Amino acid sequence: MLKGIPSILSPELLKVLCEMGHSDRLVISDGNFPAESMGKDSIVIRLDGHGVPEVLEAVLKVFPLDEYIDEPVSLMEVVPGDPVETPIWDTYEKIVLKYDKRGKEAIGHIERFSFYDQAKTAYTIIATGERALYANIMLQKGVVQPEEQ
Amino acid sequence: MLKGIPSILSPELLKVLCEMGHSDRLVISDGNFPAESMGKDSIVIRLDGHGVPEVLEAVLKVFPLDEYIDEPVSLMEVVPGDPVETPIWDTYEKIVLKYDKRGKEAIGHIERFSFYDQAKTAYTIIATGERALYANIMLQKGVVQPEEQ
Amino acid sequence: MLKGIPSILSPELLKVLCEMGHSDRLVISDGNFPAESMGKDSIVIRLDGHGVPEVLEAVLKVFPLDEYIDEPVSLMEVVPGDPVETPIWDTYEKIVLKYDKRGKEAIGHIERFSFYDQAKTAYTIIATGERALYANIMLQKGVVQPEEQ
Amino acid sequence: MLKGIPSILSPELLKVLCEMGHSDRLVISDGNFPAESMGKDSIVIRLDGHGVPEVLEAVLKVFPLDEYIDEPVSLMEVVPGDPVETPIWDTYEKIVLKYDKRGKEAIGHIERFSFYDQAKTAYTIIATGERALYANIMLQKGVVQPEEQ
Amino acid sequence: MLKGIPSILSPELLKVLCEMGHSDRLVISDGNFPAESMGKDSIVIRLDGHGVPEVLEAVLKVFPLDEYIDEPVSLMEVVPGDPVETPIWDTYEKIVLKYDKRGKEAIGHIERFSFYDQAKTAYTIIATGERALYANIMLQKGVVQPEEQ
Amino acid sequence: MLKGIPSILSPELLKVLCEMGHSDRLVISDGNFPAESMGKDSIVIRLDGHGVPEVLEAVLKVFPLDEYIDEPVSLMEVVPGDPVETPIWDTYEKIVLKYDKRGKEAIGHIERFSFYDQAKTAYTIIATGERALYANIMLQKGVVQPEEQ
Amino acid sequence: MLKGIPSILSPELLKVLCEMGHSDRLVISDGNFPAESMGKDSIVIRLDGHGVPEVLEAVLKVFPLDEYIDEPVSLMEVVPGDPVETPIWDTYEKIVLKYDKRGKEAIGHIERFSFYDQAKTAYTIIATGERALYANIMLQKGVVQPEEQ
Amino acid sequence: MLKGIPSILSPELLKVLCEMGHSDRLVISDGNFPAESMGKDSIVIRLDGHGVPEVLEAVLKVFPLDEYIDEPVSLMEVVPGDPVETPIWDTYEKIVLKYDKRGKEAIGHIERFSFYDQAKTAYTIIATGERALYANIMLQKGVVQPEEQ
Amino acid sequence: MLKGIPSILSPELLKVLCEMGHSDRLVISDGNFPAESMGKDSIVIRLDGHGVPEVLEAVLKVFPLDEYIDEPVSLMEVVPGDPVETPIWDTYEKIVLKYDKRGKEAIGHIERFSFYDQAKTAYTIIATGERALYANIMLQKGVVQPEEQ
Amino acid sequence: MLKGIPSILSPELLKVLCEMGHSDRLVISDGNFPAESMGKDSIVIRLDGHGVPEVLEAVLKVFPLDEYIDEPVSLMEVVPGDPVETPIWDTYEKIVLKYDKRGKEAIGHIERFSFYDQAKTAYTIIATGERALYANIMLQKGVVQPEEQ
């Protein structure tokens, strides 16, 4: 553990977040996501037993979202016809707003298989134990501003 | 790079500082210190080209000093009879004071060969390019307080 | 994740718990414990961001305590004169009782440095993010009875 | 060994089953299957000397079948004209029914070379010593329901 | 699998049995034996889910017992006062007799902690899932006679 | 060395032969064959100083030839116009006949570059020191029959 | 550290610069460049906390620029319409002139995505902590002349 | 294979013989010698299926015996009272004489357990398939004379 | 060092030359050749500080040139219009003639970029410190004749 | 190769010289020295085919000798009674004098077995092909002065 850094960020996760650069992507996946097979060319970091929101909150404390694109945060679009509710998205919007003034505007939705394709080329996949549906979320790293250090 | 974390802390160094626990020791060594041979059982992290003060300042921003012992910071005692001046120690005192209210009181001096013996069992040695004399410094990690996260 | 197995048990932890045998010891350590340096000869598994009780509960669901010794559970004795309270021990007693009929009787207390010495030879150390004091706990594995499978 | 987990599931197999996610596939192969060459991009786990049924039974105790597709279990179609009998399939149907209410309906048959192609992209291949003919079986992992843990 | 070689002997086990030489020792351990910690300096081979007798029978088919010592087979002595029965020893005697004309005479019993000490320096430990008590057995390899090949 | 297994089969070769399955191919190459470059995706096992016939004989003692194809043994066709004699092929025929009732009928000849292409995808290449011309030989593994163990 | 060699050149960087040959390319990247993902097929060397100019100066002291092409130094072209200023380029010109008589003439500008494509095939990427905009720079190694040693 | 070098010397063996220096020792062991366990701190090279004499002859073609000690060749003394014959020693004497003018005089005999102790500290152990008794032989490397290259 | 083998052939080079087979290619490159990047799929062996001729001479002492093709030795064609002299080629011709009766006839010249393409698929690249121009040379290994050993 | 650095210093050697610190020792050994066995705990760097003087000269160009001890250069004392001449020592004295004003005074002689003991704890051993007698030399690294960079 370190001062000023959320303790949920494991040593290895901290290293990986730090070595990512502008435009690298990160997936925080739910407990049933096939993180290991999707992430064969990525770095898979396990945070078993945690939910996505607490991980998202901790990550955004140190990780800037890309300001050069409109929607640096991506969620998986609900499959047409699926009556599922996605209350966890509201939670995500609130967390994003705490760390990026664009808030909800910074969040886009992409079609399921496009999401998978992008996940396969992400720099990192964090595997959580989240149980909510449609909970996977992808973040694109922005530039760390000098005044932020 | 990450928000709120000094950019001189490399990804690997951040990982190592984070995985250290209460009572683990860290050496920030000068440019002529035999870091690789002293650190055969440690993790040696190279920060070539940097001075010790800038590394010390960055480390202390995230790394608490041990409050369970009187002198969690150690310098190498000047060899009796050696007329050398150690102005860099004043710099160290000021930096320590910024992050630990004990300031100078938290700094002890140990005999040269004891210093080497303790360095050999440190968890990490950071090898800098510092040119000042008697510039090696050893830190013992304290407890991260809940209110610090 | 698997059916019937707590999701906080990561794949690697499950593997390690399974390969341990009768009399092997396991430490669940708090967030400031020097798990990596203590565990140089052990397998260190990180469960950053979790508390010890939730890990203990999940471990005991699959991990039998040794019935051949009186106190297969060990806590670190309070240092004489230290006025600290240890409310987390009550939580531990309740959890142990759920999985072992001996309950509190199965829990012993050992002197601090003996605890450290035994931790160094444990098979595994699980590093959590627990903030409570005197929260480290050591378990000795028992025999899996045929009727338990 | 662990409480409540079949002892035939080796530590490494338990780890792999646990890290698989929704839609990852697993092959339990017979003793003559070229598991190592088919599995160059998979994780091959050896359970020499065991038959497929006992492995299948143990796996299904912890591993949910995919409910999002009709036939999460696949057998290799008998080559047209081959008069072989496949009594082991009856055994498989009974075991599947114990763990998935769809029973026999959840089992599909695919052409031999398609089976091989899918086996090459499976996450894991378990190599057994099974001697029965047409005994290879492929399972697609489903979602672990919260109430199952 | 290979012609003339029991299929329970995994490829790796076959390799290890073959590379052992005169006087090297092998332990076949039960399911609760701490094989991984005892075998830190050995090669541990897992045969989860099997009993010791079937492994012993397969091993002795290819592995000669040392004829230069009286008791190349060792069992762990029953702790004085322990009323336990050890019916599995009878099974062992019959199996040994099939492959070594000395039969029961080739089997010795050694005190528990001596057994552990010798296990730690064995060349290999085979971890089975055997549930019987006092089932661990140690074999010392003999010379392969030219007429045996 | 092991009882009943030819001593020329090294521990590693035994392991590899055992882990091969139905339809995997094996090349026994002569002393000038570029085994390491051809075998970049295979397992190369060196038996320097031996001839191919003695290796072939030992391999066939434990390794069944594929009965599902007509010619599980392949030799490299003599380049048209090359007046070379290939007396070693007679030796091969005799050895094959000892272990497979099809004898010479089980041996096919394939064009030189096709041979090389197939060698590159073989599971294993055994590099011998054989000096005879056209001595490379490729074997396709068959099914181990239950009565053979 | 070594005599006559800038101390900012770490041991590993020195090794890599030395093993590069004529026409191999090197990128010195700024602090937000995705060095690790761009450099998956390269050797990534971290010099966190340093600016590009001090690294460039040290590298050119030992590293000749290619004299067989016109512009062995490449900068990333300003995206058309971007009003950004690039004062660091003047610094680069002065440094290049100190070590290569062509000075500014040796510096070319390439379109952003071409720059990225070339960076991916560079032999090495040095990741600095530089904060200036458009600060990435690529160097192509030339021939070391005999009179230079 | 190479011109002028016996083909029984495998690529790896050639490398090891070449990197040995003055006073390093080499054991050529018979087929029942526990080469892997004796050689835990050595480099073990397998030449399965060969006899010791053919290996000894090939080794001595390139490997000088130490001329600074009287008996650079060591055999294991016959255990007092053992009526065994050691005809292979005559073969060894003839081979040594071909490469070292001291012949039989260069060969000493050491007590069995001393032989084992020295074998454990040898640089290399070559494991052959030799069946003769008392066939293990140890060689101490000498100085390569300039006129020998 | 070994008797009868040039001491410039390092242990590792000797191993690699020995494991190469008929038709494998070897490049001896000059000091500015990008050996490490060209050789990403090859084995790169460094002989820093040596010239090509002394390495060529030593290699040819043990390495036969391919007699099945006309020009087993390749030099890089002088770029049309380049007035450079290539006196080192005369040296190469003399050395080749000492070891292959075809002498100069065995040497071909190939266009620069074809040379690079072939270098990339060579089995080995030896990186020397040669300063002469057009000094890179490629050799194709031939068959070792029985009478040569 | 690099500008201003002798080309005989290989990339890896340059790295190792650079990472050594004050008081670390380096051995440059002759061609018969058992460098690999002496250097089991050191980094062994091979410079086969070179003499010690050319290596010594290149090393001293970048490597300062320790000024805190009287004799940072050590040679192996001639064994009493040995009439050998050591002309190479004169060469060493001249080379040392070029780089250290103490010249011959900086060179000490230590007894043979003490030399071996110190060699075993050296940071690096450079194995050359030197043929002269008593040619091994050991250097202790000094402090790099700021004005030297």
Per-residue pLDDT at E15: 98
Q: Which two tokens mark J107?
A: 């060179």
* DSSP codes joined into one string, chain I: --TTS-TTS-HHHHHHHHH--TT-EEEEE-TTS-HHHHTTTSEEEEETT--HHHHHHHHHHH-PBPSSSS--EEEEPPPTT-----THHHHHHHHHHHH-TTGGGGEEEE-HHHHHHHHHT-SEEEEE---STT--EEEEB-PPPGGG-
Residues in G touching J58 (Cβ below 8 Å): none
* Stronger pLDDT, A99 or G78, i.e. the higher one: A99
Residue D2 in any domain: the answer is no
Residue C12 in any domain: the answer is no
Measuring CA to CA, how many Å separate G31 from each of A20, B10, B32, G47, H18?
A: 10, 11, 28, 10, 47
The model's pLDDT over D94-133, given as tens digits with 9 standing for 90+, comes to 999 999 999 999 999 999 999 999 999 999 999 999 999 8
Per-residue pLDDT at C20: 98
Q: CB of F30 within 8 A of CB of F130?
A: yes
Residue numbers of F annotated as active site: 22, 66, 116
Residues in J touching G146 (Cβ below 8 Å): none
With contact defined as 3+ CB pairs under 8 Å, the chains touching C are A, B, D, E
Does residue C100 carry a catalytic annotation?
Answer: no
When pLDDT is cut at 50, 70 and 90, the band that residue G149 belongs to is low
Residues in E touching F66 (Cβ below 8 Å): none
Q: In the beta sheet, which residues pair with residue D125?
A: D27, D44
The model's pLDDT over J5-59, given as tens digits with 9 standing for 90+, comes to 999 999 999 999 999 999 999 999 999 999 999 999 999 999 999 999 999 999 9
- Give me the mean pLDDT over the A138-149 stretch: 88
- Give me the mean pLDDT over the G63-67 stretch: 97
Find the radius of gyration of the CA atoms of chain D. 14
Closest CA to F45 of D100, I19, J2: I19
- Give me the mean pLDDT over the I2-17 stretch: 97
Tens of each residue's pLDDT in chain C, 149 residues: 999 999 999 999 999 999 999 999 999 999 999 999 999 999 999 999 999 999 999 999 999 999 999 999 999 998 888 888 999 999 999 999 999 999 999 999 999 999 999 999 999 999 999 999 899 999 999 999 887 76
CB contact (8 A) between residue I123 and residue F33 = no
Q: Which two tokens mark J8?
A: 């005989």
Chain F residues with at least one Cβ partner in I under 8 Å:
31-38, 131
The model's pLDDT over I41-66, given as tens digits with 9 standing for 90+, comes to 999 999 999 999 999 999 999 999 99
Q: Which residues contact G53 (CB under 8 A, 6 or more apart)?
A: G88, G91, G92, G95
When pLDDT is cut at 50, 70 and 90, the band that residue D146 belongs to is confident
Tens of each residue's pLDDT in chain E, 149 residues: 999 999 999 999 999 999 999 999 999 999 999 999 999 999 999 999 999 999 999 999 999 999 999 999 999 998 888 888 999 999 999 999 999 999 999 999 999 999 999 999 999 999 999 999 899 999 999 999 887 76
The secondary element (H helix, E strand) that includes residue B55 is helix B52-62
Residue E8 in any domain: the answer is no
Does residue I116 carry a catalytic annotation?
Answer: yes
Residue H8 in any domain: the answer is no
User: How many Cβ atoms sit within 10 Å of the Cβ of residue D12?
Assistant: 18
* Stronger pLDDT, F149 or H126, i.e. the higher one: H126
* DSSP codes joined into one string, C44-70: EEEETT--HHHHHHHHHHH-PBPSSSS
Give dist(CA J84, CA E117) in Å, integer: 53
Query: Nearest-CA residue of chain E relative to F145?
Result: E3
Residue numbers of B annotated as active site: 22, 66, 116
Q: Which residues of F34-68 are buried (b: 16+ CB within 10 A; e: fewer)?
A: bbbbbbeebbbbbbbbbbbbbbbbbbbbbbbbbee
Residue G60 in any domain: the answer is yes
When pLDDT is cut at 50, 70 and 90, the band that residue B149 belongs to is low
Residue F6: phi and psi, rounded to 5, are -55, 135
- Give me the mean pLDDT over the H120-139 stretch: 96
CB contact (8 A) between residue F37 and residue I123 = yes
- Closest CB to J62: pick one of G4, G7, G64: G4
Percentage above 90 pLDDT, chain B: 91
Residue F112 in any domain: the answer is yes
Chain E residues with at least one Cβ partner in D under 8 Å:
1, 6-13, 31-32, 46-50, 54, 58, 129
Measuring CA to CA, how many Å separate A61 from each of A6, B15, D24, E91?
A: 8, 17, 33, 64
- Give me the mean pLDDT over the J70-81 stretch: 93
Asked whether the predicted pLDDT for residue G99 surpasses 90, the reply is yes
List C30, C66, C100, C134, catalytic entry: C66
Asked whether the predicted pLDDT for residue B9 surpasses 90, the reply is yes
3-state SS, one letter per residue, for A73-118: EEEECCCCCCCCCCCHHHHHHHHHHHHCCCHHHHEEEECHHHHHHH
When pLDDT is cut at 50, 70 and 90, the band that residue G146 belongs to is confident
Asked whether the predicted pLDDT for residue A148 surpasses 80, the reply is no
Asked whether the predicted pLDDT for residue J147 surpasses 80, the reply is no
Give dist(CA C47, CA A50) in Å, integer: 10
Percentage above 70 pLDDT, chain D: 99
Tens of each residue's pLDDT in chain F, 149 residues: 999 999 999 999 999 999 999 999 999 999 999 999 999 999 999 999 999 999 999 999 999 999 999 999 999 998 888 888 999 999 999 999 999 999 999 999 999 999 999 999 999 999 999 999 899 999 999 999 887 76
With contact defined as 3+ CB pairs under 8 Å, the chains touching D are A, C, E, F
List E66, E92, E100, E134, catalytic entry: E66
Model ipTM value? 0.96
Closest CA of chain A from B12, distance in Å: 6
Residue I70 in any domain: the answer is yes
The model's pLDDT over A52-93, given as tens digits with 9 standing for 90+, comes to 999 999 999 999 999 999 999 999 998 888 888 999 999 999
Does residue E68 carry a catalytic annotation?
Answer: no
CATH of the domain at E126: 3.40.1650.10
Closest CA of chain H from I16, distance in Å: 7
Helix (H/G/I), strand (E/B), else coil: D76: strand
Closest CA of chain J from H25, distance in Å: 10
Domain range for residue I67?
Answer: 23-143
Residue F60 in any domain: the answer is yes
- The chain-wide mean pLDDT, for chain I, equals 95
The model's pLDDT over I85-116, given as tens digits with 9 standing for 90+, comes to 999 999 999 999 999 999 999 999 999 999 99
Residue I25: phi and psi, rounded to 5, are -110, 150
Per-residue pLDDT at I149: 66
List G30, G50, G66, G123, catalytic entry: G66
Closest CA of chain H from E81, distance in Å: 37
- The chain-wide mean pLDDT, for chain B, equals 95
Closest CA of chain E from C21, distance in Å: 4
Residues in H touching J35 (Cβ below 8 Å): 19, 21
- Give me the mean pLDDT over the H108-116 stretch: 94
Per-residue pLDDT at J145: 86
When pLDDT is cut at 50, 70 and 90, the band that residue J96 belongs to is very high
The secondary element (H helix, E strand) that includes residue D12 is helix D11-19
Q: Which two tokens mark C37?
A: 């340096």
With contact defined as 3+ CB pairs under 8 Å, the chains touching A are B, C, D, G
- The chain-wide mean pLDDT, for chain G, equals 95
Q: CB of I22 within 8 A of CB of I141?
A: yes
Residue G100: phi and psi, rounded to 5, are -145, 125
List A66, A92, A100, A134, catalytic entry: A66
* Interface test mutation site (partner H, options E14, E24, E65, E148, max chain H beta carbons within 10 A): E24
- Give me the mean pLDDT over the B123-145 stretch: 96
- Give me the mean pLDDT over the H97-114 stretch: 96
Per-residue pLDDT at G91: 98
CB-based burial of residue B67 (10 Å sphere; 0-12 exposed, 13-18 middle, 19+ buried)?
Answer: middle
Query: Nearest-CA residue of chain D relative to F122?
Result: D37
E and B touching (3 or more beta-carbon pairs closer than 8 Å): no
Percentage above 90 pLDDT, chain C: 91
Task: Please give the tally of structural domains in chain H.
Answer: 1
Give dist(CA G99, CA G57) in Å, integer: 9
CB contact (8 A) between residue H18 and residue I14 = yes
